[in-house]
Every structure is written in structure tokens, then in C-alpha cells.
Amino acid sequence: MDIDVRRVLDSLGDPLLALDRSARILHANAGMKELLGWSRLELLGRPLSQVIPGGVPGLTPERPAAPPPGRGWEPHRPLSRPPHRVSALRRDGRPREVEVRLSPWPGAEAEGVCILSFHALDAQQELERQLRLFRRLHLLDAALTQAFSHATDEEEAAYAVLRACGELEGWTLGTYWRLEPGAGVLMPLTLWTASPGLGDFASTTLGRTLTPPEGLPGQAWVRREPVWSRDVTRDGRFLRADVAARQGLHGGLFFPVLGGGSRVYGVVELFSRAPREEREPDEAVASSLGHHFGRFLDRLRLTERELTRDTAVRALWDADLLGLLISNAHGRLLDANTTLLRMLGYTRQDVREGRLSWRVLSPPRQRLALESALRRLRADGVLHSFEGELRRKDDSAAPVLLGSASLGNGRVMTFVLDLSDWKPQEATGPHEADARLHALIAHAPVVLFALDRDGLFTLSEGQGLEALGLKPGQVVGMSVFDLYRGEPTILAHARRALAGEEFYAVESLSTGLVYETHWVPLKDPEGRQSGTLGLATDVTQREREAHWRAQLFTEAEEARAEAERAVRLRDEFLSVASHELKTPLTSLNLQLHVLLKRARQGGRPEDAETVERLEKARRQLQKLARMMDDLLDVSRVAEGRLRLELGEVELVQLVREVLERFQEEAQRSGTRLELAGEGPVVGRWDRSKLEQVVTNLVSNALKYGAGAPVEVRVRSSGAMALLEVTDHGIGIPPEDLGRIFGKFERAVPVRQYGGFGLGLYIVRQLVEALGGAVDAESTRGQGSTFHVALPLAGPETRLPPPAPTAGDLH
């Protein structure tokens, strides 16, 4: 090969090799380096088989293309042959599909030199690949579009997808895993297979739940892109590898079903018997399928929603719940439901003939409000509910709640709620009071009322109304000035309250009922007086009771004053009577004394009898005198006229003298009088008062002593003189011990034992006046002992006040 051949080859752009007859490389141009990466020097001398391992038909190392020497190589063949597709080896070991054309070098046939020209097939191959893929996708798309046009739900659509994959793409089994939105898990919704005998795999699959990213479906879900597996039985990420291996499933493709807004509905998985070899086309098919299916599900959702919405609106339209109407941009009614027509008294005919419009439906005074509402609706697209009035066919006004929404193109849907059933109730309850407050007031024993600034009732509530013979709300609208014409207090209070004063007042009605009312002025938002609120509590019973109490108190007071007056009168009487009686008694005593003296001196036999009778009379007189003294003392004590004449007194001697005076009386009743005196016991006392104390005690002892001996003991103890009078008679019941020292207090029947009940009273008064104390101890039926303690120093040193009951002193 001469130099020209090489020069020619180098000047050509296509990759070219020159071969000798034994198919060794004689020359390679620059294009070869570009094509396979070998440099010219690296290629020189190499056998062609190192560059094209599969050989070139008609030129193989086993069967050299070169003809026997002298004949050249196959000179009988045409010079240029059709090209062959072969796999050439790059310098880095990777194959490259090329097209080769073999041609003899003109003029060098004798040397057996031939030229191999190369043509890279990459672009073409890619084109072919794309074409094949496009054909697959096109077929699938067409099949799915058809299937989806019939499918009514997700399951049906999924099954169609799986079957199309099986029939058009040769997959053996497929599953659609649906994402359970609430639970966030993938659950098999449907499974398709063409081949029988895959029951185990199918049932394992259908019994599974996957929580993404679990398993290959889980992976596809999380990644939001297809996951390809050449052989799932060798794929660590695949959870059902065992059963897949048993059932002979190997190739696997998993892809998410993607809806709009990157929503993932679920995952499709496909299995083939043979391992998958081509990843890219599988993945391309998968993502196309995933999107196609996803978009279908999007549409399905939308239709479902629309259907639901349509049904809901239809149901609302037909249900007799609230009035609905549709109006156009000019305010004319296009349609209205039966509820609305009935509410306003119109017929369907009225709507059909286009007679109804907002202008017709709105009462004149509502028109402005409605117009501004419609303006707001045009601006916002929706008009939140507001209270208003609509005009009925009979021209009356219906109180309603309205709300509208724009439907587009100027059309508006409006709901109308009839408030006429609710309005009257509302009139009876204050706007500001909620239901709970209302219920509370309705059951409270009060009357809650409100007056507007003209005195008209706007509210009248509460259980207290019953007493007035009224029902809640009955007087609403009436004037307080009419209703309570005959109750001037109420009218005066209402006027005060409406003038803005807050106050409490008690109101007695002419019916006898009495109320205590809290009047509170009401103000409007601008602070102007708008009326008054009153809370009236029925206090009739309370007032009645208070009245009775006052009456009882007065009566008791009167009785007490009367009793005091009686006591005073009695004391006065006693005082006067005893004083007046004492004088004749003294002169009588004197007369008796004179007569007795004369009789004793007489010496006549009848004189002895006279003496005896006169003695008897004198004893009676003395008894009478003692009683007079008692009465006199009592009145003195009562009048605070008790005067003490203090002097040195020896108590034992004093007691002895008193007892001597009782000797005669004691003998007559057979009573022994004993004195045990450890004298002298000298103190600073009033002799006559002390005599009276001893006299009264001894007299009682004889009177109630039942003839048993009476013992009197006198002694001193420290600064005190102690006197005890003991009898063994009838005794005193314990319950009476505390009271016998009181004025006129007695513990025995008058018929059995006479007496005023003043003896012990006087004893206590006198002893206490002398600074001492007295009390009694007794056992019923066994006798009594009276203790008297007197300070030797006299009345200046008082004993502590006596204890409430006599027993406590012991």
C-alpha cells in the first residue's frame, strides 16, 4: 500500500480501516479514534477480530476473506456490498453498534487490500427505540382511554390498567394498591393475572397491607416515581420474594398513580415470569401509565364531587326547609322553590311569566337596604345572612332572614328563611337576653319588666307574673300609665325611673301584694335615656311577717308595762295597807297588854280564863304584827327605803333571844329548838334586821319542820359569820330551790300552809343588804338547811354575787 492510499483515507471524514488479506489492520484514519477510541498506532497490525469480535460477514478470521494468492479476494463479487450491522468493541471495552461496508481498494486488489468503512448507528438505534416505545405507549394509551371511558370507579379503572399491561406489555400479574387516605396505608384494591396457578402469590398479596415506605410499592409511593426491579426474587426490598420465587415471578415494575397537585392515589405493581432486561422503557411506560391513570382518577373525583354537590343542592331545593330562588342580573326571578312560593303566596305561574323580581318582592321601606345588599353581593360574590322583609302577594310583609351567593353571569341564588313564627316570641324576650337567661327569669319568683321611654312595656317576664294574674309578655305594648292608673306609687316610681334615676322601692298594690322593685335606667348606644328596666320581687309574705312581728312586739311590750304597773300598784297598796294596819295593831296590842295586866291582878276565878284568852289573842296579834312587818319590809325594799342601823352585834346571843321568843310556840307543836353556838360571833350589823332574818328562818323551820327538832348553828369562819337553820320536815323539791327566795314564791299549797311567800324574799334582801349571802339545801321529805354567811366587817365588804342556783354554793 503506497502512501497515496493512506493520504486518501486520512482525508475522508468517515471512520475507515484498511485491511490486508489476512484481515489485519494496515491503516486507520482519525475518524476511527473518534468512533471507538483507539489511536491509529494502537490499531496498526491488529487482527480485525480484536475490534469486531463477531467478525464481518464475508470477512472472518476463521474464514479469511482473502482469496488464495493470485486471485485476490472474491473478485467476482460486486465491488461494493450491502452494509452489515455489527457490534464493534471500543477501547474501553464497551460495545458500539455500527454499520460496516466492505470494499476493495481499487488498484490494490492484487495485494488483497480492502477498506472497511464504519457508520455509527447510535442515533438511528435511539430513534428505533423511541419508535418502539412510542408504539407501546400509544397502544396502551388507546387501550386505557377506551377502558376509562367505561370505568365508573377506581377499582374498575385499575383492573383495566392491569389487564392492558398484561395484554399489551406481556406482564403476567398486576396489583393496584390503593392508599387509604385516613390510615396512610396501601391496601390492594384489585389484582389481575393472565396465568392460572398464581393463587398463592395473589392471596398473599391481597392479604397484605403496606405502610409506606414498606416494600417496593411503598418505595414507589414515597419516591413518587417508578421503581424497577430486574428480578424481585433477588431484590432485598421486595417483601414477597419467597412466594414470588415459588410461583416463578421475577421481573417487577412498581409505579405511583399520580393525580394533580402531586397527589398519589396508589401504586400499580406488575410482575413478569422472566427477569426484566430493559429498565428505561419500562420506567417510561410506567410513568406514562401512572399519570394517565392518575388524571383519570382526578376526573372521577371531580365528577363524584359535582354529582354529590348537585344532589345536595337538589335535595335542599326540594326539601321543605327554606325558600330558595335564583335571579338574573336584572333582579328578575328565574326560578324559585315551592317553599318560597308558598311563603310569599305566589304561584309557579307567576315565576314562569316573569312577573317576579326583587323590585316586586321588596316592600318600599326595604328597597334601599336590598339595593345596597345586592351591591355588596356583586362586590363580594356572597351576601351573609341579614334580617329583612319581603312582600307577600297579598301585600303583607314577611319577616325573613336572607342570604345570597353569586352563581356567575349575574345570576344569584338566594335563601330565604321565614321568621314570622319566631318573631312574636322574640317580642316577649329582650334582644340581649340569651335563652338561658330567659329560662332563668321565666322560673324565678320575680317580675322582670322593661318600659320604653314612653312608658310602654317592652318586656314582662318571670314567674312572679302569676301572682298578678298575667302571662309572660301579655302586657307588652301596653302603657304602664294606663295599666297602673289606680296605683299612684307605681306611677310615681315609673316616672322617676324614666327620668333616669336608679333606686330601690317598696310598692304596696291595692290588691294587698307588696313588691320591692329595683328600677334601673336603660340607655341607648348613644347614651340617651331609652327606658327603664325593673326587677320586682314579691315581698308580700315578708312584709306580712314583719308586720305581725311588730304587732306581737307591741303587744308584748304593752303586757309587760301592764304587769309592771300592776306590781307597782300592788306594792303601793301593800305599803299603804301595812302602814295603815300597823297603827291600829299597835294600839290593839297596847289595849290587850292593859287588859292582861288587870286580869292577872284581878284574883277572881273567872280572871284566870280571861288571862288565858287574852294571851291567845296577843299571840295572834303578834303573828299578825310579824306579817305586817314582812309586808312593810317588802314595800320598803321595793321602794329602796331599806335603811340599815349598823352597830356591834353578837350573833349567838341574838339567835338565843329569838329562839326564846319561839319557845312557847315550839312547845305547843312539840318541837325541840336547839342552839349550837360557838360564840361569841361579833360583827357589824343591823340588829333588828338580823333578828328578822333569824326569825323568818326559824319560823319556816317550825312551820315546815313537821314537829321534828330544829337545829340552829352559829360560828365564825375567818372573816365570816355562819348561821345554819336545819329542820327535818317536808323538804323542798330541787326544782323549787332556786325560786323560793323570790317575791311571793311558794312551793307548797296555800290550803295546807298559809303564808305570803315573802319570808325568804325578805331574808335574802336583808342578808344581801348586810353584805352576805343565803341559800338552801334540801332533800324532799327529809328536811332542809338554810345557810347564811355574813361578813363580820359588815356590808362594806360584799361577798361575791350569789351563784344562779342554790345547789352551786355547796
Contact set with ligand ADP (CB under 6 A): 700-701, 704, 727, 729-732, 740, 746-748, 755-761, 784
Residue type for position 120:
A
Residue nearer to ligand ADP on the CB measure, 175 or 778:
778
- For the CB of residue 730, give the shortest distance to ligand ADP in the complex, in Å: 5
Smallest gap from Cβ 627 to ligand ADP, in A, equals: 9
Looking at beta carbons only, is 490 or 740 nearer to ligand ADP? 740
Strands 710-717 and 673-677: parallel
Minimum gap (Å) between residue 755 Cβ and ligand ADP? 2
- Dihedral angle, C-alpha 298, 299, 303, 304, nearest 10 °: -30
CB 567, min distance to ligand ADP, A = 17
Grid cell locating 680 = 361569841
Whether the Cβ atoms of residue 339 and residue 415 lie closer than 8 Å to each other: no
Q: How far is the CB of 754 from ligand ADP (least distance, A)?
A: 7
What is d(CA 538, CA 448) in angstroms, rounded to the nearest whole number?
11
| Least Cβ distance, residue 747 to ligand ADP (angstroms) | 3
Least separation in angstroms between residue 784's CB and ligand ADP is 4
Which secondary structure element, helix H or strand E, spans residue 18, and what is its range? strand 16-19
CA-nearest of 246, 262, 266, 263 to 254 is 266
Of 761, 729, 730, nearest to 744 by C-alpha is 761
Give the three cell numbers for residue 502: 336608679
Q: b/e map of 112-136 (b: 16 or more CB within 10 Å)?
A: bbbbbbbebbeeeeeeeeeeebeeb
Work out how close the CB of 740 gets to ligand ADP at its nearest, in angstroms, rounded to a whole number. 4
Among residues 792, 789, 762, the alpha carbon closest in space to that of 775 is found at 789
Other C-beta atoms lying within 10 Å of the C-beta of residue 354: 11
According to DSSP, the residues that pair with 27 across neighbouring strands are 18
Q: Is the peptide bond before 800 cis (omega within 30 degrees of 0)?
A: no
Return the number of the residue (8 or 747) whose C-beta is nearest ligand ADP.
Answer: 747
> How far out from the chain centre does Cα 195 lie?
64
Residue 370 backbone phi and psi in degrees, to 5: -65, -40
Nearer to ligand ADP, 314 or 739 (CB): 739
Of 114 and 737, nearer to ligand ADP (C-beta) is 737
Nearer to ligand ADP, 399 or 757 (CB): 757
CB of 713 to ligand ADP, least distance (A): 15
Nearer to ligand ADP, 650 or 727 (CB): 727
Q: Considering the complex, state which of residue 356 and residue 710 has its C-beta at the smaller distance from ligand ADP.
A: 710
Q: Are 516 and 493 in contact (CB under 8 A)?
A: no
Please state, in angstroms and rounded to a whole number, the distance separating the CA atoms of residues 174 and 285. 14
| CB closer to ligand ADP out of 532 and 695 | 695
User: Cα(267)–Cα(188) distance, rounded to whole angstroms?
Assistant: 9
Shortest Å, Cβ 760 to ligand ADP: 3
Min dist CB 762 to ligand ADP, Å, is 8
* Closest C-alpha among 600, 790, 612 to residue 686: 790
The C-alpha angle 446, 451, 455, rounded to 5 degrees, equals 130
CB of 749 to ligand ADP, least distance (A): 9
The SS3 of residue 644 is coil
Q: What is the DSSP letter of 491?
A: H
> What is the C-alpha to C-alpha distance for residues 1 and 361, in angstroms, rounded to an integer?
110
**539/631 with CB nearer ligand ADP:** 631
Q: Which three cell numbers stand for residue 191?
A: 389484582
**Cβ 92 vs Cβ 37: under 8 Å:** yes
Instruction: Return the number of the residue (66 or 730) whose C-beta is nearest ligand ADP.
Output: 730
Strand boundaries in 125-214, DSSP class E: 173-180, 185-193
The least CB distance from residue 778 to ligand ADP, in Å, is 7
Beta-bridged to residue 459, according to DSSP, are 450
